[in-house]
Amino acid sequence: MILPSGAELRLTGPTAAAAVICVNGGQGREVEGTWSASLEWLVQRLAPSFPTFTFAEVRYRIKSWNTLDLCIEDAREAVQEIGAERTLLVGFSMGGIVSSQIAAEPSVETIVGLAPWFPERLSLDQLRGKRLRVLHGSLDRGLPGIPGVTPASSRRGFDRAIAIGAEGEYTIIPGAVHGVALRAHWGRPLPLPRARTWARLVGDELRRFQAPG
């Protein structure tokens, strides 16, 4: 599905009242958007266990933090295009700050940040009154030419969100790195260490979302 902005949306599952919208990370260089191997692997693993959810993956027009406003626009259009009564956002890396900036959309109840980037220059006010679950690998670090987010950085963002009125939990995954999967040269996403732990914890949050209260 092509969104009005020109971004692309990939859907798994039925048209449903509850949607899980997955938002990718980014990089410094301005390049054409791609599908996230980490989010794709999670959707493939989790969607069969949650057949009453619409799962959606967002492919940005340009996946760069230097065009963050465009990425936010793409994600907002995805929420509005799906039009679910209830929405859970899954934001990987840069997708964490993208998700936080659209959290005030009326249907959004929960944000799950996977190694999320929450730059201190940007407000997290839209998370007030929302649930924020952050999962982060203990071994996550930026490497030369490879983006990463330290757990200390996401913890600061989480604490900022809680201080302004979000509620939630912060979990470190021992032995995990930045990401859940990598894409093999033949196209298939291949799980990284602790991928099953990532999936189990995201699944726990989906079950909570499925049966609120």
Is residue 1 one of the residues assigned to a domain? no
Assess if residue 114 is contained within a domain.
Answer: yes
Residue-level pLDDT at 64? 81
Q: Is 44 contained in some domain?
A: yes
The predicted-structure confidence for 103-149, as pLDDT tens digits, reads as follows 999 999 999 999 999 999 999 999 999 999 999 999 998 766 667 89
Per-residue model confidence (pLDDT) at position 144: 63
Q: Is residue 184 part of a domain?
A: yes
Range of the domain at 136: 8-210
For the stretch 201-207, contacts whose Cβ atoms lie closer than 8 Å and that sit 24 or more positions apart, written own/partner, are 201/135, 201/171, 201/173, 202/42, 202/46, 202/90, 202/112, 202/114, 202/135, 203/46, 203/49, 205/88, 205/110, 205/112, 205/133, 206/20, 206/46, 206/49, 206/50, 206/53, 206/88
pLDDT by residue (tens digit) across 163-204?
999 999 999 999 999 999 999 888 899 999 999 999 999 999
CATH of the domain at 143: 3.40.50.1820
Determine what percent of the chain is predicted with pLDDT higher than 70: 98
Is 147 a domain residue? yes
Specify if 2 maps to a domain: no
pLDDT at 30: 76
Q: Is 159 domain-assigned?
A: yes
**pLDDT value for 67:** 86
Domain count of the fold of the chain: 1
